[in-house]
């Protein structure tokens, strides 16, 4: 880096004003003494290609890509990591000359939060995932890599759950069902909410029979107050009900590592970010 030039990063989404990524990356940069700037970039879908190209052409070093662009941006990269290919989505771009490298750090972010921060044992675990959209697709492979006993995907639209189960069934034990059939299936160690219902202010008929006194419930979404799912999980007697703040910080740390080659400490940043927020 030449003197006086600060490396530029940012998060592209639509809308994006609520994003905590700038705060997280600024805290990482301070902690690791990296000189960089990180911007919020509100880009509507029709302008995604132009905005990405322009960011790279004007010297930008890397981007986080968030909702609703994670699947679309796959078409704009010159090379993609295996984990991004499996997820069918990219959340991290690295600009290298004329090339754009795409990666996806969401899965590893969830795994670190579950295993290192929360202490969930995934090997031989029974896991229920609610929802069968992009978020679910991004977490199946990393969860299967931890060798659970089974993953059940329950979805309002059964065909989408079946399609995902079919896609990943060669990699491990994954099956599909409707919300109302969850009860007939195993006692779950972990229930993950990967629907977008809470974000839209909706509360689906989550299957309460999935929760046992030892069950950990994890919402990929997060909020300043408990999400509808987090609330529901606590009310129905889950051992723990956790929102995805930790995943957010862990996926950011992995992106930061990809860009800067330095791995920041996540615990103090998670603490700083969520001070005054009930984590479940």
Q: Which residue is nearest to ligand ATR (CB)?
A: 133
| Distance of closest approach, residue 132 Cβ to ligand ATR, in angstroms | 4
| Distance of closest approach, residue 200 Cβ to ligand ATR, in angstroms | 6
Report if residue 148 touches ligand ATR, rule: CB under 6 A.
no
User: Is 54 or 157 the residue whose CB approaches ligand ATR more closely?
Assistant: 157
- Cα 143 to its chain centre, rounded Å, is 12
User: Which 111-140 residues touch ligand ATR, going by CB under 6 A?
Assistant: 131-135
3-state secondary structure of 45: helix
Figure out which of the listed residues 156, 167, 212, 231 binds ligand ATR, where binding follows CB under 6 A: 156
* Binding span for ligand ATR by CB under 6 A among 111-119, 193-201, 207-215, 247-255: 193-201
| Distance of closest approach, residue 196 Cβ to ligand ATR, in angstroms | 3
User: Is 61 or 137 the residue whose CB approaches ligand ATR more closely?
Assistant: 137
The DSSP 8-state label assigned to residue 233 in this structure reads: H
| Distance of closest approach, residue 129 Cβ to ligand ATR, in angstroms | 9
Report if residue 149 touches ligand ATR, rule: CB under 6 A.
no
User: Is 104 or 274 the residue whose CB approaches ligand ATR more closely?
Assistant: 104
CA of 13: how far to CAs of 146, 170, 210, in Å? 31, 33, 34
Figure out which of the listed residues 29, 41, 80, 197 binds ligand ATR, where binding follows CB under 6 A: 197
Query: Do 269 and 28 contact (CB within 8 A), yes or no?
Result: yes
Query: Any catalytic annotation for residue 70?
Result: yes
CA of 153: how far to CAs of 25, 137, 278, in Å? 33, 10, 28
Figure out which of the listed residues 91, 92, 155, 221 binds ligand ATR, where binding follows CB under 6 A: 155
Report if residue 88 touches ligand ATR, rule: CB under 6 A.
no
CA of 12: how far to CAs of 52, 56, 86, 107, 141, in Å? 9, 13, 22, 19, 25
Identify the H or E element spanning 240.
strand 240-243
User: Is 195 or 274 the residue whose CB approaches ligand ATR more closely?
Assistant: 195
Figure out which of the listed residues 53, 147, 181, 202 binds ligand ATR, where binding follows CB under 6 A: 202
Query: Do 85 and 75 contact (CB within 8 A), yes or no?
Result: no
User: Is 105 or 195 the residue whose CB approaches ligand ATR more closely?
Assistant: 195
Indicate the burial class of 65 (C-beta count within 10 angstroms; 0-12, 13-18, 19 or more): buried
Quote the tokens at residue 24: 């997280």
In the block, residue with structure tokens 């796959």? 74
Selecting among 33, 61, 70, 86, the annotated active-site residue is 70
| Distance of closest approach, residue 185 Cβ to ligand ATR, in angstroms | 18
| Distance of closest approach, residue 14 Cβ to ligand ATR, in angstroms | 13
In the block, residue with structure tokens 């968030």? 66
Report if residue 167 touches ligand ATR, rule: CB under 6 A.
no
In the block, residue with structure tokens 């990405």? 52
Quote the tokens at residue 140: 């199946």
- Cα 120 to its chain centre, rounded Å, is 17
Query: Do 61 and 259 contact (CB within 8 A), yes or no?
Result: yes
Residues marked as catalytic: 70
User: Which parts of this chain interact with ligand ATR (CB under 6 A)?
Assistant: 131-135, 155-157, 160, 195-197, 200, 202, 204
């Amino acid at each position: 880096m030449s003197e006086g030039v600060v490396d530029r990063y940012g998060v592209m989404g639509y809308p994006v004003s609520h994003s905590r990524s700038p705060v997280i990356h600024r805290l990482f940069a301070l902690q690791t003494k990296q000189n960089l700037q990180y911007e919020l970039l509100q880009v509507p879908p029709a302008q995604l290609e132009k905005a990405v190209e322009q960011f790279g052409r004007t010297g930008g070093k890397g981007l986080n890509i968030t909702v609703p662009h994670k699947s679309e941006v796959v078409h704009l990269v010159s090379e993609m990591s295996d984990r991004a290919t499996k997820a069918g989505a990219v959340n991290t771009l690295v600009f290298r000359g004329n090339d754009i490298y795409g990666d996806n750090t969401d899965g590893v972010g969830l795994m670190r939060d579950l295993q290192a921060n929360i202490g969930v044992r995934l090997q031989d675990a029974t896991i229920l995932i609610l929802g069968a959209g992009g978020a679910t697709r991004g977490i199946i492979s990393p969860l299967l890599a931890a060798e659970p006993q089974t993953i059940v995907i329950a979805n309002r639209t059964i065909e989408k759950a079946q399609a995902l189960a079919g896609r990943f069934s060669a990699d491990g034990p994954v099956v599909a069902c409707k919300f109302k059939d969850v009860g007939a299936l195993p006692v779950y160690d972990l229930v993950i909410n990967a629907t977008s219902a809470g974000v839209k202010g909706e509360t689906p008929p989550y299957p309460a029979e999935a929760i046992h006194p030892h069950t950990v419930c994890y919402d990929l979404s997060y909020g300043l107050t408990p999400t509808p799912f987090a609330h529901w999980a606590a009310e129905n007697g889950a051992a723990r009900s956790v929102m995805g703040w930790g995943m957010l910080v862990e996926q950011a740390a992995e992106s930061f590592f990809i860009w800067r080659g330095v791995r920041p400490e996540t615990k103090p940043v998670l603490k700083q970010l969520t001070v005054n927020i009930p984590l479940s």
